[in-house]
């Protein structure tokens, strides 16, 4: 009798656990949102929310490893569909999209979140807060910015990818595939939104006919898009963040452009306050490979000169770049955050000091690979 | 082969202690600490850890007043009836709060991150049912379940925390500030003390350890505090370094959010960190089971009942009561307030009663000794008496 009672208790206790997820739904009832886009709405205070969802054909093409003909212009069947909702809050726009769909919108497989550069600071705050609170959002999705209308961005279908939203994962998971690693996860964006005196940078997504171009960064100031860096300046930012993997530079030598490639940098910042003024020193160690050099000359003799010339050129360019950023009071290097952690309530002092900071850049270069033909 | 008894080994005892330490804190730590202590968070943590050692030392002293008797058996002998009853009621009330907090935390974590549309009562009922089942066959079965479930869970957790190290991007926040400010340290230390609450069960568990194992168990108690402290230190260093202190304050469950970032490409379940959070249910489970067992062992001596039927009835009754109380909690903010309210009371209780208890015990013993006159010369014990005294019954 006692054993029977125990068995009954066991069944009662374990029963609910064996029933599976109460919210389990068939895949056909679930719309896997692969990309989210946030742009300005028709009215000033409105947000436009875009969701890119795979079609059954799109899912089939992924299952078949992209054998369904890709998503490029050649295929007549769309692999994804883009739904749009507008409203003052994300929740309202979300509800509008839900009304357009006969499936449950599921954010657990999110691949990318794209922010229009036209969003205001207040709108970015609303979006950041919503994304932080939504427990189901996959925080490892990539964050990007776009100047082009999001409709256009989300309707671009890169020919090399079986489905457009999968492009980002392929692009960013390969560190050797980019000059500068511009991958930004959504959680790191939320993190920067919460921190004081720190500005955000995002990779700029530029749609082309059947491809995306990704070699520029957007700098934000107080969560408002402020500057779009040129590819060259993005490379400089990459050295400072340790993200440039395949940088390149030319140094003239008797009219011959000596070129260095495959450049990466380890960078260290230190701050001093002599006489109450902020002095920031940047130490860079650059590694690279000699690429172009006159074939009839012995490169070995000229390596010290080449290293010094590269160091000088990069240091000068970095100095100008850092000074221009600090004059605009843009800090994407987290220097203010580290300072304010140790000195809370000194936000105004830091802001003033950073704007007038004196920068020094020390760069050393090692050419590790001289190639054939020494 | 080792005999089956109602006793537990020192290792099992240490694991029960350790599971107690992690029962509430594993989800929430270090948000409250970083929010209150700021850059003095490490000092607040060390203060909390130091106080935990003091608390353990005091409670071991209480346990040693009579190492063969549970806390409330001892209390009955040294306290007047009304004090004894008051002590029992306060202890029970405070300890009912602990499983409410633990169960509530787990329910909200699961519903927030995994099963948004599953009714939360299903999650809570399942956990409560299993906790009840684990406690059903008394302490040895509970201790063996702990050994079996808790050790692998913690080993996987530490491995996954190591996978987070490459995500550390804000290393500046991992360093302790040299500008020590007393009030934030003290307040943060107090606010975060919930991470060490759980050790007050020592005097209740103590007689279940064989007499000859008790010196070893004493050492193991300190090992458990050390182990819990090291685990929390790793959690704090990793979460603060990964999430940065400002973002961390916005997160209800910083450890869970950090583990969500682990993305191991190539595995079928690439979000391994998120998976382990489900396994942390084991920590809540053991914590709740031990509370059910301990509260029952406070109430039963008070009502002079000792049979297994009463024990099981009481465990079931408490499980239902706690489940119903948890159902009245509408959201995590209430759990947060409950923790904030419970911690100072618990710290006051756990650190406050042992000195009074020990003082009363010493006073009563010396009074009895005076009344009895000088102790009789020690006599040689028979083999049976020696066995009984050593606890081989």
- Residue B273: which residues within 8 A CB-CB, separation 6 or more? B160, B163, B164, B258, B259, B260, B261, B262
pLDDT digits (tens, 9 = 90+) for B145-199: 999 988 999 898 888 888 899 889 888 889 888 889 999 999 999 999 999 988 8
By the 8 A CB rule, do A246 and A291 touch?
Answer: no
Residue B321's Cβ-count burial label (10 Å; 0-12, 13-18, 19+) is middle
The CA distance from B141 to B158, in Å, is: 26
The rounded distance, in Å, linking the Cα atoms of A23 and B117 is 5
Least confident of B15-19, B35-39, B46-50, B388-392: B388-392
Say if residue B307 is exposed, middle or buried (CB neighbours under 10 Å; 0-12, 13-18, 19+): exposed
Interior CA angle at A105 toward A85 and B103, to 5°? 125
pLDDT value, residue A320: 96
- Chain length of chain B: 393
pLDDT of B271 reads 72
Supply angle C-alpha B359, B364, B367, rounded to 5: 125
The answer to whether A275 contacts chain B (CB < 8 Å) is: no
pLDDT average, residue stretch B15-26 = 87
Q: Which pTM was predicted?
A: 0.87
pLDDT-derived band at B389 (thresholds 50, 70, 90) equals low
Res. A338: pLDDT tops 60: yes
Whole-number pLDDT of residue A367: 87
User: In this complex, which of A17, A136, A342 lies closest to B39 when CB atoms are compared?
Assistant: A342
- Write down the pLDDT at residue B378: 62
Under DSSP, the state recorded for A41 is -
Cα gap A39→A118, rounded to integer Å: 7
Domain positions in chain B: 10-390
What's the CA gap between A48 and A42, in Å, rounded? 8
Nearest-Cα distance to chain B for A220, in Å, is: 18
CA pair distance A109, A137, nearest whole angstrom: 8
pLDDT per position as a tens digit, B209-261: 999 999 999 999 999 999 999 999 999 999 999 999 999 998 999 998 898 88
Q: Please spell the DSSP secondary structure of B174-226, one letter per residue.
A: GSPPSS--HHHHHHHHHHTGGGTTTGGGHHHHGGGB-GGGHHHHHHHHHHHHH
Of the residues A1, A7, A8, A16, the best mutation for testing chain B's interface (the one with the most B CB atoms within 10 Å of its CB) is A16
Read off the pLDDT of each residue in B51-77 and give the average, rounded to a whole number: 90
Q: Vertex B302, ends B127 and B359: CA angle to 5°? A: 105
Residue A238, Cβ density class (10 Å: 0-12 exposed, 13-18 middle, ≥19 buried):
buried
B251–A341 C-beta distance less than 8 A: no
**What pLDDT, on the 0 to 100 scale, is given for residue B376?**
62
Q: Name the residue ranges covered by the structural domains of chain A.
A: 27-228, 231-369
- Look at residue A259 in the predicted model and tell me its pLDDT: 87
Report the 10 Å Cβ neighbour count for B356.
Answer: 12
A336, A350 in Cβ contact below 8 A? Answer: yes
**Interchain contact B168–A (C-beta under 8 A):** no
Q: Tell me what pLDDT residue B268 has.
A: 66
Mean pLDDT across the stretch B362-368?
85
B243 contacts on A by Cβ (under 8 Å): 191
| Chain mean pLDDT for chain B | 88
Interval A301-322 mean pLDDT: 91
B243 lies within 8 A of chain A by CB: yes
The per-residue pLDDT of chain A, averaged, comes to 86
Q: Do B113 and A187 count as a contact with CB atoms less than 8 A apart? A: no
**A285, A266 Cβ separation under 8 angstroms:** yes
CB proximity B119 to A under 8 Å:
yes
Whether A173 sits inside 8 A of B257 (CB atoms) is: no
Topology given in CATH for the domain delimited by A231-369:
GMP Synthetase; Chain A, domain 3 (3.30.300)
Name the band, by pLDDT with cuts 50, 70 and 90, for residue B334. very high
Cis check for the bond before A241: say yes or no (omega within 30 of 0). no
Record: contact B247-A6, CB cut-off 8 A: no
Structure token pair of residue B86: 């008051």
pLDDT band for position B53 (50/70/90)?
A: very high
**Chain A contact for B251 (CB, 8 A cutoff):** yes
Provide ipTM, 2 decimals.
0.82
A9:B118 CB<8 A: no
- Kindly list the residues from chain A whose CB atom is less than 8 angstroms away from the CB atom of residue B173: 338, 341
| β partners of residue A112 | A35, A142
pLDDT digits (tens, 9 = 90+) for A201-253: 999 999 988 888 999 999 999 899 999 999 999 999 999 999 998 999 888 88
Q: Report the C-alpha dihedral over residues B29, B104, B257, A96, rounded to 10 degrees.
A: -150
Q: pLDDT at position B36, please? A: 94
CA distances (Å), origin A13, targets A17, A18, B128: 8, 10, 8
Task: Choose the weakest-confidence range: A88-92, A353-357, B258-262, B323-327.
Answer: B258-262
Rounded distance between C-alpha atoms, residue B318 and residue B324, angstroms:
10
From 3.40.640.10, 1.10.10.60, 3.40.50.720, 1.20.1740.10, which CATH number describes the B10-390 domain?
Answer: 1.20.1740.10
Nearest to B172 among A23, A194, A338 (CB): A338
Residue B366: the pLDDT is 85
Contacts of A305 (CB under 8 A, 6+ apart): none
- For the stretch A125-143, pLDDT in tens is 999 989 888 878 888 899 9
Chain B residues in contact with A21 (beta carbon < 8 A): 114-115, 118
CB under 8 Å to B16, separation ≥6 — which residues? B8, B142, B143, B146, B201, B205, B286, B290
Span between the terminal Cα atoms of chain A, in Å: 91
| pLDDT tens, position by position, A215-228 | 999 999 989 999 99
Q: Does B4 touch chain A (CB under 8 A)?
A: no
Interface test with chain A among B31, B131, B137, B247, by most A beta carbons within 10 Å: B247
Q: Which of A25-29, A105-109, A186-190, B56-60 has the lowest mean pLDDT?
A: A25-29
Q: Number of Cβ pairs closer than 8 Å across A and B?
A: 87
Q: How confident is the model at residue A92 (pLDDT cuts 50, 70, 90)?
A: very high
CB A108 within 8 A of CB A136: yes
Residue of A nearest to B243 (CA): A191
Which pLDDT value is given to residue B19? Answer: 86
In three-state secondary structure terms, B44 is helix
pLDDT band at B4 (very low <50, low <70, confident <90, very high): very low
Tell me what the mean pLDDT of segment B1-22 comes to: 79
Nearest chain A residue (CA) to B178: A342
Q: Flag whether residue B250 sits within 8 Å of chain A, measured between CB atoms.
A: yes
A187 contacts A139 by C-beta, under 8 angstroms: yes
Which of A33-37, A72-76, B331-335 comes out lowest in average pLDDT?
Answer: A72-76
The token duo for B322 is: 């706690």
């Amino acid at each position: 009798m006692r054993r029977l009672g125990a068995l009954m208790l066991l069944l009662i206790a374990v029963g609910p656990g064996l029933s599976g997820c109460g919210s389990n739904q068939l895949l056909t009832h679930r719309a896997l949102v692969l990309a989210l886009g946030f742009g300005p709405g028709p009215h000033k205070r409105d947000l436009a929310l875009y969701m890119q969802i795979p079609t059954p054909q799109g899912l089939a093409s992924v299952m078949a490893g992209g054998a369904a003909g890709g998503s490029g212009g050649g295929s007549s069947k769309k692999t994804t569909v883009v739904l749009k909702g507008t409203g003052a809050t994300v929740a309202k726009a979300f509800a509008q999209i839900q009304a357009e769909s006969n499936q449950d919108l599921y954010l657990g497989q999110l691949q990318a979140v794209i922010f229009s550069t036209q969003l205001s600071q207040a709108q970015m705050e609303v979006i950041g807060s919503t994304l932080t609170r939504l427990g189901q959002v996959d925080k490892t999705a990539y964050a990007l910015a776009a100047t082009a209308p999001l409709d256009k961005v989300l309707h671009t279908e890169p020919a090399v990818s079986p489905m457009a939203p999968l492009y980002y994962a392929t692009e960013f998971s390969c560190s050797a595939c980019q000059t500068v690693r511009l991958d930004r996860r959504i959680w790191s964006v939320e993190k920067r939104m919460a921190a004081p005196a720190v500005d955000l940078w995002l990779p700029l997504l530029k749609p082309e006919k059947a491809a995306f171009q990704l070699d520029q960064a957007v700098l934000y100031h107080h969560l408002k898009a402020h500057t779009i860096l040129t590819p060259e300046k993005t490379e400089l930012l990459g050295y400072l963040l340790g993200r440039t993997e395949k940088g390149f530079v030319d140094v003239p030598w008797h009219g011959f452009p000596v070129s260095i490639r495959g450049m990466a940098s380890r960078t260290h910042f230190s701050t001093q306050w002599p006489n109450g003024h902020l002095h920031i020193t940047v130490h860079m160690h650059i590694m690279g490979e000699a690429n172009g050099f006159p074939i009839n000359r012995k490169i070995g003799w000229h390596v010290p000169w080449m290293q010094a010339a590269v160091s000088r050129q990069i240091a000068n360019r970095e100095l100008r770049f850092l000074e221009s950023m600090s004059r605009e009071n843009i800090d994407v290097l987290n220097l203010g955050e580290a300072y304010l952690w140790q000195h809370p309530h000194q936000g105004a002092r830091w802001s003033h000091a950073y704007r007038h900071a004196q920068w020094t850049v020390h760069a050393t270069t090692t050419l590790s690979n001289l190639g054939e033909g020494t | 082969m080792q005999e089956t008894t109602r006793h537990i080994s020192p290792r099992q005892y240490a694991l029960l202690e350790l599971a107690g330490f992690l029962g509430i804190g594993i989800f929430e730590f270090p948000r409250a600490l970083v929010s209150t202590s700021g850059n003095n968070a490490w000092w607040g943590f060390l203060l909390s850890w130091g106080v935990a050692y003091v608390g353990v030392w005091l409670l071991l002293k209480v346990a040693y007043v009579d190492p063969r008797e549970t806390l409330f058996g001892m209390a009955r002998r040294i306290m007047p009836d009304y004090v004894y009853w008051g002590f029992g009621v306060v202890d029970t009330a405070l300890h009912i709060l602990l499983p409410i907090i633990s169960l509530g935390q787990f329910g909200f974590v699961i519903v927030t991150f995994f099963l948004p549309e599953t009714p939360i009562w299903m999650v809570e009922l399942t956990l409560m049912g299993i906790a009840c089942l684990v406690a059903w066959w008394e302490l040895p079965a509970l201790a063996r379940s702990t050994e079996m479930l808790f050790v692998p869970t913690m080993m996987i957790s530490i491995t996954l925390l190591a996978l987070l190290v490459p995500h550390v991007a804000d290393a500046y926040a991992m360093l302790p500030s040299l500008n020590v400010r007393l009030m934030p340290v003290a307040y943060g230390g107090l606010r975060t003390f919930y991470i060490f609450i759980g050790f007050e069960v020592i005097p209740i568990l103590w007689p279940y350890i064989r007499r000859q194992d008790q010196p070893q168990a004493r050492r193991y108690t300190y090992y458990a505090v050390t182990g819990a402290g090291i685990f929390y230190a790793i959690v704090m260093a990793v979460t603060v370094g990964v999430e940065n202190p400002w973002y961390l304050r916005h997160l209800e469950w910083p450890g869970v959010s950090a583990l969500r970032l682990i993305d191991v490409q190539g595995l079928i379940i690439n979000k391994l960190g998120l998976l382990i959070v489900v396994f942390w249910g084991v920590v809540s489970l053991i914590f709740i089971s031990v509370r059910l067992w301990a509260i029952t062992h406070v109430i039963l001596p008070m009502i002079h009942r000792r049979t297994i039927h009463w024990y099981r009835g009481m465990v079931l009754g408490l499980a239902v009561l706690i489940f119903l109380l948890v159902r009245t909690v509408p959201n995590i903010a209430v759990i947060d307030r409950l923790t904030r309210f419970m911690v100072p009371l618990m710290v006051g209780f756990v650190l406050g009663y042992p000195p009074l208890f020990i003082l009363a015990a010493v006073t009563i013993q010396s009074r009895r000794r005076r009344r009895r006159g000088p102790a009789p010369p020690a006599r040689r014990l028979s083999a049976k008496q020696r066995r009984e005294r050593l606890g081989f019954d």
